[in-house]
């Protein structure tokens, strides 16, 4: 997919939202106004290839989503606890993915990144220190898995 300019991308986003709203009756939205009742607390990577819609065709009120680069628990523990303790979702899923850019950046070094990104990636230190691999690809996958297990 080619990169678009903001003035090209925004009308498409608005059109999709408008189509979503027009495709549902008023009662559909009213049924979700008072409270949320998600079934899953999901911590996953912000990577645009990873979408919670894999769990349901209609995502509204199904998944309490927490996202950050590298699906890191340390950076979002409060949000995860909110889903588990306050919303009482029966499921907590930590969803990582192959070829995670955050894990790759951690493994290859990220000292040239802006401070905000460095601070966020620093939390990958403990889980990734447990990764093992014969070559980089194997190490990368192991690091993704160790991060999910952490
Ligand atoms: Zn990722």
Judge whether 100 lies within some domain. yes
- Other C-beta atoms within 10 Å of 101: how many? 13
Which domain does 68 fall in, by range? 29-149
**Predicted pLDDT at 1:** 67
Q: What is the mean pLDDT of the segment spanning 35-60?
A: 92
Judge whether 91 lies within some domain. yes
Judge whether 12 lies within some domain. no
Judge whether 24 lies within some domain. no
Judge whether 1 lies within some domain. no
Judge whether 52 lies within some domain. yes
Q: pLDDT tier at 124 (50, 70, 90 boundaries)?
A: very high
Q: Ligand 1 center to residue 24 CA distance, Å?
A: 32
Q: Residue 28 above 70 pLDDT?
A: yes
Total structural domains within the chain? 1
Tell me, what CATH number does 33's domain have? 3.40.1050.10
Q: Ligand 1 center to residue 12 CA distance, Å?
A: 25
Q: What is the pTM of this model?
A: 0.88
Q: Ligand 1 center to residue 63 CA distance, Å?
A: 19
Judge whether 39 lies within some domain. yes
Q: Ligand 1 center to residue 65 CA distance, Å?
A: 15
Measured on CA atoms in the order 36, 40, 41, 47, is the torsion positive or negative?
negative
Distance in angstroms (rounded) separating the CA atoms of residues 73 and 117: 16
State the SS3 of the chain: CCCCCHHHHHHHHHHHHHHHHHCCCHHHHHCCCCCCCCCEEEEEECCCCCCHHHCCCCCCCCEEEEEECCCCCHHHHHHHHHHHHHCCCCEEEEECCCCCHHHHHHHHCCCCCCHHHHHHHHHHHHHHCCCCCCCHHHHHHHHHHHHHHC
Q: pLDDT tier at 107 (50, 70, 90 boundaries)?
A: very high
Q: Residue 54 above 80 pLDDT?
A: yes
Distance in angstroms (rounded) separating the CA atoms of residues 1 and 19: 22
Judge whether 4 lies within some domain. no
**Predicted pLDDT at 50:** 94
Sheet holding 63-68, edge to edge: 63-68, 40-45, 91-95
């Amino acid at each position: 997919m080619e990169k678009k300019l903001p003035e090209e991308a925004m009308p498409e986003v608005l059109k999709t939202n408008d189509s979503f709203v027009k495709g549902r009756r008023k009662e559909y939205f009213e049924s979700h106004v008072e409270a949320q009742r998600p079934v899953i607390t999901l911590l996953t990577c912000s990577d645009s290839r990873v979408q919670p819609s894999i769990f349901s065709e209609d995502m509204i009120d199904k998944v309490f989503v927490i996202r950050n680069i590298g699906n890191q628990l340390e950076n979002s523990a409060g949000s995860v606890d909110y889903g588990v303790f306050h919303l009482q979702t029966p499921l907590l899923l930590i969803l990582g993915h192959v070829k995670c850019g955050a894990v790759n950046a951690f493994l290859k070094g990220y000292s040239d990144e802006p401070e905000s990104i460095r601070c966020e990636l620093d939390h990958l230190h403990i889980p990734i220190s447990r990764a093992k691999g014969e070559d980089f690809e194997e190490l990368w996958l192991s690091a993704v898995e160790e991060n999910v297990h952490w």
